[in-house]
Structure 1
């Protein structure tokens, strides 16, 4: 059965946590149990990300303050990157700092020009506890940095300054999903 290798097929779509929920501001706990519960969580995260048409999702965004994220994101050459990282560490960011459009499933419908490095390297583990190193450029580098921010209790809006920050926060306050 080939479909078993597609992430999220066996997962359950969970509600996405929105701006205002304290779990989004909570630093994630290190994962210590690499058993079936973690594998189920990752499957649920993929299912939820795909249902929401996202390119990345942190465990925080489904209410689990754990250091785990999933991604299905192209780089600037349209190469598709699919995977997950448990207990990730952002070990390198370099290259040019670019301001590009960035949004978040926890702030649906909102977007702002956010500065990020155009290259990022993340190290961590798979759901089986095997070491993994993920390198990204362009859009994919932005995704890796964005998801790592979530695991530290951060959001892309925290990287905005002045008027851009105030504008997005005003939009968030007026959004129909705002709490």
Structure 2
């Protein structure tokens, strides 16, 4: 797969975009679909990747950098230069497995907080790539989890909204200086 968005997997002293944190209203707004995949979208994806690598992340959604668009960048192997990052534009989950799995998640918008979240183990997602071509992807395990986590951001949902253990949630958020009131639990 030749990519139109080439980025060195390195930490920049001054990443191009600013990541917003839990409690910021921009993280709670539903993102808008991208009508046309053009150079501006590719540039945004590039800057998001640079920002993600600079922050030791494996996924970043446009709303986390205050851009209200349905764009995700993901790289489950940030230390492997041979593994190209994934760029998902207007992603939609078309299928989810009945089988669920619980795993610890963290988020660049809630630094230092790691808590268990239950999600489907396998998903199928359709999206457009950075050329605007429609694609389908079947994802399992970590990749499936990262895609679901980042797609939640497009709907104004944060992973802490899905944490079932209230005591652990409250303890972790307070320990790292986040307001528990900023969580919007999903029933």
Q: Which residue of 2 aligns with 1:138?
A: 141
Q: Tell me, which stretches of 5 or more residues in structure 2 are unaligned?
A: 78-82, 180-187
Q: Which residue of 2 aligns with 1:73?
A: 76
Q: Within 1, Cα distance between the matches of 2:38 and 2:146?
A: 26
Bigger fraction of residues in strand: 1
Determine if the alignment matches structure 1 residue 43 to structure 2 residue 46: yes
How far the C-alpha of 1:166 sits from its partner, in A, is 2.5
Q: Which residue of 2 aligns with 1:125?
A: 128
Deviation per CA, 1:9-35, whole angstroms, max 9, x where unpaired?
A: 4x9631111111111100000101211
TM-score (norm 1): 0.84
TM-score (norm 2): 0.80
Q: Which residue of 1 aligns with 2:6?
A: 7
User: Structure 1 stretch 119-128 or stretch 138-147: which is displaced more?
Assistant: 119-128
How far the C-alpha of 1:95 sits from its partner, in A, is 4.7
Deviation per CA, 1:135-171, whole angstroms, max 9, x where unpaired?
A: 2111111101101101111010010123233233323
Determine if the alignment matches structure 1 residue 27 to structure 2 residue 26: no
Q: Within 2, Cα distance between the matches of 1:172 and 1:123?
A: 36
Equivalent residue pairs, number: 167
The answer to whether the 8 A contact 2:4-2:42 is kept is no
The answer to whether the 8 A contact 1:71-1:81 is kept is no
Q: What's the C-alpha RMSD, in Å, of the aligned pairs?
A: 2.3
Q: Which consecutive segments of 4 or more residues in structure 1 shift more than 6 A?
A: none
Q: Tell me, which stretches of 5 or more residues in structure 1 are unaligned?
A: 75-79
Q: Which residue of 2 aligns with 1:85?
A: 88
CA separation of 1:59 and 1:119: change in aligned 2, threshold 3 A:
same
